[in-house]
Amino acid sequence: MIRKMTVAALTIGLLAASSYSLEADVKADEKSLVKFEGMLGKVVGLFGGKAAREGVKTSVAVKGDRKATLSDTAGQIVDLREEKIYDLDIKKKTYTVTTFAELRRQLEEAKKRAAEEAKKAQAEMKAAETKTAEAKPAKNDSPQFEVDFDLKETGQQKKVNGFDAREIVMTITMREKGKTLDESGGMVLTSNIWMGAQIAAMKEVAAFDIRFAKAIAGPIIAGASADEMASAMAMYPMMQDALARMRAENVRMDGTAILTSTTMDAVKSAEQIAAEAQQQQPSSQSGSPSSTSGTIGGLIGGFARRGANRNQNAQAASGRATIMTMTNEVLKVATSVSDADVAIPAGYKESK
């Protein structure tokens, strides 16, 4: 079943984007897949079923203040005017209703749970600090971030799902203010975008998602529940800003993204890598382990240690660890949308 608090496009937080007017209806067939790494990825893979492993094919329709997202087994209808979300169980022919107010409360509860887990992880890292690390200025506990943005056309072209497309690579780097990525550690979001000609109606999907995000002011991402996103964002605070920037830039691009593959990597600082290498030496067993938990790299490194398997340990040794990967593709687009396309199907009963 498509879980509550899941929408069919990447939408994070309150986006600093322009207002859009809904002037056209649109219906599109899409496929999306979100894959979390580490322990969170294991849990999602275990309980998420086939959809979590292979992705979900959906039909997305926008008409006025309503958006419907339907798959073979489940669906969701968001009504901005009513401020309600209808989650459909296709097999049972039932639906449940969640108000925006209830959704905000659920998001806040998920955020608190994730924050408590993050606090435990930080306590573990602080317990392992050296006297040098403890002596660092308190301002390092809450560093300010800077964003580096890069957009390049690769010159590559190909047909994607019947659309002529060109490749664009978007790179967004989050790092501590006044420091390089190697110095502070941070986060790198890389999107390989196959951009087709502008399909005007597809902007209505992005416009709707931005309106929805502003209405609920919470972390929502395709294929991920609020609990999953809250946990990931507690581990990696920079994620929200990086994804918000990516979403805003996608809206501004000239064309329609037909296929987007995004990888988000956490990057350790050089100091953190050196400290962990020192810990792995036999001599370090007799002394106190080194840590740089006061920096971005230290925080990332600490969480990586808690949730890493053997392959991820090898990846972490290189200074990078993949947090999550996302893929979204447009299969087909139409501009004829009926009221029935965004309505609860006939015969469905509310499940309370």
- Within a domain: 87: yes
- Within a domain: 2: no
**62 close to 338: Cβ distance less than 8 angstroms:** no
pLDDT for residue 8 is more than 50: no
In this structure, are strands 84-89 and 74-79 parallel, antiparallel, or unpaired?
A: antiparallel
CB-count burial class (<10 Å; 0-12, 13-18, 19+) for 155: exposed
Q: What is the phi-psi region of residue 282: left when phi exceeds 0, alpha when psi lies from -120 to 50, beta otherwise?
A: alpha
- Within a domain: 162: yes
Closest CA to 2 of 71, 103, 99, 54: 71
Q: Give residue 21's pLDDT band: very low, low, confident or very high (50, 70, 90).
A: very low
Q: Give residue 52's pLDDT band: very low, low, confident or very high (50, 70, 90).
A: low
- Within a domain: 4: no
- Within a domain: 3: no
- Within a domain: 1: no
pLDDT for residue 235 is more than 60: no
Closest CA to 205 of 351, 324, 61: 61
Q: How many domains, in total, are found in the chain? A: 1
Mean pLDDT for the chain?
74
Give the Cα separation of 65 and 81 in Å (integer). 6
* Strands, E assignment, 177-286: 186-196, 219-220, 256-267
**Domain extent at residue 66:** 11-350
pLDDT for residue 231 is more than 50: yes
- Within a domain: 21: yes
pLDDT for residue 18 is more than 50: no
Give the Cα separation of 245 and 207 in Å (integer). 15
Residue bearing the bigger pLDDT, 126 or 39? 126
Which pLDDT score, from 0 to 100, does residue 123 have? 74
pTM above 0.85, yes or no: no
pLDDT for residue 307 is more than 50: no
Which pLDDT score, from 0 to 100, does residue 63 have? 94
Which pLDDT score, from 0 to 100, does residue 7 have? 31
**What is the distance between the terminal CA atoms of the chain, rounded to a whole angstrom?**
16
Residue bearing the bigger pLDDT, 200 or 295? 200
Which pLDDT score, from 0 to 100, does residue 140 have? 47
- Within a domain: 158: yes
159-218 tens-digit pLDDT: 999 999 999 998 989 888 889 888 888 889 899 999 999 888 888 888 888 888 888 865
Which pLDDT score, from 0 to 100, does residue 128 have? 64
